[in-house]
Structure 1
Amino acid sequence: MKRSKEQASETIVRLIEVARKHFTEHGYAESSMEDIVAEANLTRGALYHHFGSKKGLFQAVLESVQSEIGVRVEADAMQSDDAWEQLIRGCRSFVAAAVEPRNKRILLIDGPAVLGWEAWRRMDEENSMRHLREQLGLLQQQGSLKPVPLDAMTHFLSGALNESALWIAQSPDEGGSLEDTITVITLVLKGICND
């Protein structure tokens, strides 16, 4: 029984890895389930068994991308002991990760289009926005954040980061656009700083 669970887990991981490559290179619409299962050396039955459909597989890939970005954002933010610096580092890390070629099409383009805006937003709330709200709450507990409504501030900042990522992804100068975005985000955050 234990080996069956290990095999199922290995199958799921393999399908997600191969599908991520296909969705990144070809987009959701142009990715074929036949090509994905062939490259993974599995059957369509395995894909349907674990994910139910191509859309289910895409959702699992998107969840994996969001989780990976979340881990990276947290690691980058924790390189500082200062809560404000952690917030700024986290914002930079999120935007930089979102526009990387292996993430941007899945996260920013196909994610909302394939799953629908509501499902995409719910997933974003469960991942990025949750961490963002926690950091803002910590700053407020420390007395470092002006008394702003946390939910409103979280949604405002998350929206700014997501829209900035979309803008940067289409910019001919991603590096310069990222730096401009961080400059603006830092100025906005200074406006709510209680120091």
Structure 2
Amino acid sequence: MIRRTQAERTDETTTALVRAARALFGAAGYAATSIDAVAAAAGVTKGAAYHHFGGKAPLLRAAFEAELGEVSAKLVGIAASGADQGSALRLGARTFLQHCLDPGFARIVMVDAPAVLGWEVVRAAEHHHLLSVIEAGFVMATGDERLAATRARLVFGALCEAGMMLARSADPAADLPLLTAETDRLVEALKAAPGDRD
């Protein structure tokens, strides 16, 4: 029998807790989900949940980061696909908006994380996972880091607002085509604005 190291056991426990938190926070919301329920769903004690995360809010933060990390991995894949920058930026925007159709993602990322974790924490995580990828696309398109940072923030702000609209919509799937078309137009307008290399 191979014995697991303490680091492996810790990783398994934290992974199980984050997976359970994503499922439960995504389904019922942060306020309606107890840390006891998350621990039980992860198959660990409440004490283990507190030991690894210190409370429910840090567990939400880990679930939020995991949700963003999943989208970020897709955006990085799109950026590496070899598509021209305009197409990659539009596809990345669509990918983000499609993620917002997932009720769990919408609840954690668009509703609960901003309310519980606060603007500074949410913005830092979004910058790390999402905004930096969009900004890199605009850097490649414009060759100007300052201009790219400005354009990326404008697009990301529009995407966040569109995501909030989808999260609060009675019929998000019906609203998605309009929001996608409008974000496509915004990306294309900013991509084509003076300052581009091509």
TM-score, structure 2 as length reference? 0.88
RMSD: 2.0
Q: Is the Cα–Cα contact under 8 Å of residues 138 and 149 in structure 2 kept in the other structure?
A: no
**Aligned residue in 2 for 1:58:** 60
Mapping for residues 1-195 of structure 1, pairs under 5 Å: 3-79=5-81, 81-141=83-143, 149-192=147-190, 193=192, 194=196
Deviations 1:121-159 (A, max 9, x none): 111111110101000001113xxx9x9722221211111
Question: Secondary structure at 2:130's aligned position in 1?
Answer: helix
Deviations 1:51-102 (A, max 9, x none): 1111111111100000011112333455552221111000000111123112
Determine which structure has greater relative contact order: mean sequence separation of CA pairs < 8 Å that are 6+ residues apart, divided by chain length.
2
Aligned CA distance change for structure 1 residues 168 and 38 (closer, same or farther; 3 Å)? closer
Between the two proteins, the alignment pairs up a number of residues equal to 191
**Gap runs ≥5 in structure 2:** none
Give, as a single letter, the amino acid of the residue that structure 2 aligns with 1:175: A
Question: Secondary structure at 2:44's aligned position in 1?
Answer: coil
CA distance in 2, matches of 1:78, 1:123: 22
Question: Secondary structure at 1:29's aligned position in 2?
Answer: coil
Question: Where do 4+ consecutive residues of structure 1 move more than 6 Å?
Answer: none
CA distance in 1, matches of 2:175, 2:110: 17
TM-score, structure 1 as length reference? 0.89
Aligned CA distance change for structure 1 residues 90 and 136 (closer, same or farther; 3 Å)? same
Question: Secondary structure at 2:129's aligned position in 1?
Answer: helix
Q: Which moved more, 1:110-119 or 1:39-48?
A: 39-48
Q: Is the Cα–Cα contact under 8 Å of residues 39 and 49 in structure 2 kept in the other structure?
A: yes
CA distance in 2, matches of 1:30, 1:165: 22
CA drift of 1:37 comes to 1.2
CA distance in 2, matches of 1:134, 1:69: 16
Deviations 1:101-133 (A, max 9, x none): 120100000010010112111111111101010
Identical residues among aligned pairs (%): 28
**Gap runs ≥5 in structure 1:** none
CA distance in 1, matches of 2:188, 2:39: 50
